[in-house]
């Protein structure tokens, strides 16, 4: 037993600090600091590798569900009856209802004032700029009729521009080839709605739409439906001959809206129809994959649960539908478009309506093709 006087606390504390300082100096001089850095770096790399592995697991899991398991899932969710057109339409009604409620999610909008019209000249065409108040929103479009010489009521085509364009673009050259003017020259009236332009704007609004459990295409569908309600009162328009022709994102609108708007009797989809599962989720050097782009606006809830493009077409069937796709269009690898189209055509063929669906696989790029589009609409809308 130590019977001497105890060491004062302050002396013990000072001794301890000197000892730790000396020990640290020895540790650093012996390379301990570098060892510490190596240890930290090793921990960081391990954590990064672990996180990357988990991300790959998640992506593989979801891609397997969306792509690899799609056909098996679709077989259970679709119960088509091809015994007659009426039976077929009844059999796909549950899917149409889910298309509306789970993917497109159109809101209820109410007209709050009469349609306003004012003269509008675009590229030598005498037209009208029309606006319809829907509460705090407004539905806007260009409305134009064929020049003098048309006899009786004329068919109306909804002409929908793409994401980098405006209603005016459809009257100009470039990849649109002024197809709105071509329609007018061939005796059609045109309604050219204004939809939201640029993927940056659509990204921002689509985020808010998801929070509100609606979609931007759903909002824009309702805007067009209200515009149709208003313009179809015009005695110059034949209410039984309404068609739609859209390019790119306008092609998306055509495919998205026709299943939910039976007044559209025939459609032309330019530069949109695709092998949708691959387009959305499988990166490939042969085409642009949405998963690899900043265009988050293009991702809609529940889309690939049961609504790849050939299945959406069955919600349009048996109304006439023309698909236009260019072999040089980077949105898709054209043989995959052909494969998807062949499946889509089976719905028409089983209803003895194979002549109502066509694929114009041309040698061009991301563009509308005037000749086939005009011919197709003239055939099915009575021109």
pLDDT, tens digit, for every residue of 325-364?
A: 999 999 999 999 999 999 999 999 999 999 999 999 999 9
Is 134 within the bounds of a domain? yes
Say what the pLDDT of residue 12 is.
47
Is 204 within the bounds of a domain? yes
Is 99 within the bounds of a domain? yes
Strands (DSSP E) found in the chain: 116-122, 125-134, 137-144, 154-160, 189-193, 237-247, 264-270, 321-326, 357-362
Answer yes or no: do 90 and 236 share one domain: yes
Answer yes or no: do 147 and 32 share one domain: no
Is 78 within the bounds of a domain? no
CA 176 to chain centroid: 19
Answer yes or no: do 103 and 225 share one domain: yes
Is 3 within the bounds of a domain? no
> Are 84 and 73 contacting, i.e. CB atoms less than 8 angstroms apart?
no
Answer yes or no: do 35 and 94 share one domain: no
CA distances from 79 to 24, 88, 93, 321 (A): 75, 9, 10, 22
CATH number at residue 352: 3.40.50.1820
Answer yes or no: do 31 and 97 share one domain: no
Is 183 within the bounds of a domain? yes
Q: Tokens standing for 371? A: 């000749």
Answer yes or no: do 32 and 154 share one domain: no
Answer yes or no: do 104 and 159 share one domain: yes
Answer yes or no: do 31 and 160 share one domain: no
Answer yes or no: do 111 and 12 share one domain: no
> What is the rounded distance in angstroms from the CA atom of residue 157 to the CA atom of residue 247?
13
Mean pLDDT, the chain, as a whole number? 92
Taking only the tens of pLDDT, the chain with its 383 residues reads: 444 444 454 554 555 555 445 544 544 454 555 555 666 678 788 999 999 999 999 999 999 999 999 999 999 999 999 999 999 999 999 999 999 999 999 999 999 999 999 999 999 999 999 999 999 999 999 999 998 766 789 999 999 999 999 999 999 999 999 999 999 999 999 999 999 999 999 999 999 999 999 999 999 999 999 999 999 999 999 999 999 999 999 999 999 999 999 999 999 999 999 999 999 999 999 999 999 999 999 999 999 999 999 999 999 999 999 999 999 999 999 999 999 999 999 999 999 999 999 999 999 999 999 999 999 999 999 85
Is 95 within the bounds of a domain? yes
Is 2 within the bounds of a domain? no
Answer yes or no: do 173 and 237 share one domain: yes
Q: What angle do CA 233, 159, 106 make, to 5 degrees?
A: 75
Answer yes or no: do 260 and 349 share one domain: yes
pTM, two decimals, is 0.88
Q: Tokens standing for 234? A: 């015009």
Number of domains in the chain: 2
173 is in which domain, residue-wise?
85-380
Give the residue carrying structure tokens 């899917």.
Answer: 95
The residues pairing with 132 across neighbouring beta strands, listed in sequence order, are 139
Largest CA distance in the chain: 125
Q: What is the pLDDT of residues 103-118, one digit of tens each?
A: 999 999 999 999 999 9
Answer yes or no: do 156 and 19 share one domain: no
């Amino acid at each position: 037993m130590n019977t001497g006087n105890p060491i004062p606390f302050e002396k013990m504390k000072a001794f301890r600090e000197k000892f730790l300082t000396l020990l640290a100096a020895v540790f650093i001089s012996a390379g301990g600091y570098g060892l510490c850095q190596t240890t930290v770096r090793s921990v960081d790399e391990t954590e990064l590798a672990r996180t990357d592995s988990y991300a790959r697991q998640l992506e593989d899991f979801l891609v397997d569900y969306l792509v690899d398991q799609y056909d098996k899932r679709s077989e259970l969710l679709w119960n088509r009856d091809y015994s007659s057109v009426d039976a077929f339409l009844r059999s796909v009604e549950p899917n149409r209802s889910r298309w509306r409620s789970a993917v497109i999610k159109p809101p209820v909008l109410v007209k709050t004032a009469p349609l306003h019209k004012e003269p509008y000249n675009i590229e030598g065409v005498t037209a009208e700029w029309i606006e319809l108040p829907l509460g705090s929103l407004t539905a806007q479009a260009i409305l134009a009729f064929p020049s003098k010489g048309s006899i009786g009521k004329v068919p109306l085509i909804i002409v929908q521009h793409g994401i980098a364009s405006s209603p005016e673009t459809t009257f100009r050259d470039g990849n649109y080839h002024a197809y709105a003017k071509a329609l007018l020259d061939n005796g059609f009236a045109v309604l050219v709605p204004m939809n939201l332009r640029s993927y940056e704007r659509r990204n921002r609004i689509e985020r808010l739409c998801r929070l509100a459990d609606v979609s931007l295409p759903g909002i824009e569908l309702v805007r067009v439906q209200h515009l149709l309600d208003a313009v179809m009162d015009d005695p110059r328009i034949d209410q039984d001959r309404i068609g739609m022709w859209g390019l790119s994102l306008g092609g998306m609108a055509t495919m998205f809206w026709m299943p939910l708007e039976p007044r559209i009797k025939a459609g032309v989809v330019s530069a949109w129809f695709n092998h949708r599962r691959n387009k959305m989720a499988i990166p490939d050097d042969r085409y642009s994959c949405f998963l690899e782009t900043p265009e988050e606006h293009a991702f809609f809830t529940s889309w690939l649960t049961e609504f790849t493009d050939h299945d959406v077409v069955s919600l349009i069937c048996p109304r006439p539908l023309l698909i236009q796709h260019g072999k040089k269009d980077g949105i898709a690898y054209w043989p995959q478009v052909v494969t998807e189209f062949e499946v889509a055509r089976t719905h028409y063929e089983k209803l003895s309506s194979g002549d109502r669906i066509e694929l114009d696989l041309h040698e061009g790029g991301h563009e509308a093709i005037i000749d086939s589009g005009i011919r197709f609409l003239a055939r099915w809308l009575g021109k």
